[in-house]
């Protein structure tokens, strides 16, 4: 048998209101996280990161690969595993996130492919 709250039970009414507000806030936050996760997955699938130069700070995200004749040739790859602070050459450090597309030099692509880190070439 359920008990009814007394009309004078101010603390109980406040608690019920706070619990209802907390449930609404949690639902809104869960929706925000779901949208952020979907956006992150879309970016991982569509964006290409230019890794032809070593990372110095934040990586440069390139929406479309543009090649000119006076630039060195580049290859677009997708790595299968995350790699953090990999050294390729003297003083050149690279970090790769699994599943992300990267634009790299052919030499770096060949090195990663020989090590088994390239899941796809474009």
Residue 2 has pLDDT above 80, yes or no: no
State the pLDDT at residue 68: 47
Pairing of strands 93-96, 83-87: antiparallel
- Is the same domain home to 76 and 61? yes
1 or 10, which is more confident = 10
Greatest mean pLDDT range, 42-46, 67-71, 105-109: 105-109
- Stated pTM of the model: 0.48
* pLDDT single digits (tens) 97-117: 888 888 888 888 889 988 888
- DSSP calls for 72-117: PP-EEEEESS-EEEEE-STT-EEEE-TT-EEEE-HHHHHHHHHHT-
Q: Which domain holds residue 77?
A: 47-121
CATH of the domain at 101: 3.40.5
Asked if residue 1 belongs to a domain, the reply is no
How sure is the predictor about 120, in pLDDT bands with cuts at 50, 70 and 90?
confident
DSSP label at 49?
E
* pLDDT single digits (tens) 77-103: 988 888 898 888 888 888 998 888 888
Asked if residue 104 belongs to a domain, the reply is yes
Asked if residue 39 belongs to a domain, the reply is yes
- Is the same domain home to 65 and 87? yes
- Is the same domain home to 39 and 59? no
State the pLDDT at residue 28: 93
- Is the same domain home to 93 and 36? no
State the pLDDT at residue 29: 93
How sure is the predictor about 66, in pLDDT bands with cuts at 50, 70 and 90?
low
């Amino acid at each position: 048998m359920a008990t009814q709250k007394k009309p004078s039970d101010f603390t109980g009414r406040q608690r019920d209101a706070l619990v209802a507000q907390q449930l609404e806030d949690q639902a809104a936050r869960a929706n925000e996280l779901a949208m952020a996760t979907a956006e992150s997955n879309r970016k991982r699938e569509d964006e290409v990161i230019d890794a032809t130069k070593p990372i110095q700070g934040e990586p440069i995200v390139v929406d479309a690969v543009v090649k000119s004749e006076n630039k060195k040739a580049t290859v677009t790859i997708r790595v299968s595993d995350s790699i953090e602070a990999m050294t390729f050459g003297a003083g050149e450090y690279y970090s790769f996130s699994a599943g992300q597309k990267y634009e790299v030099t052919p030499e770096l692509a060949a090195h990663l492919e020989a090590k088994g880190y390239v899941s796809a070439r474009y």
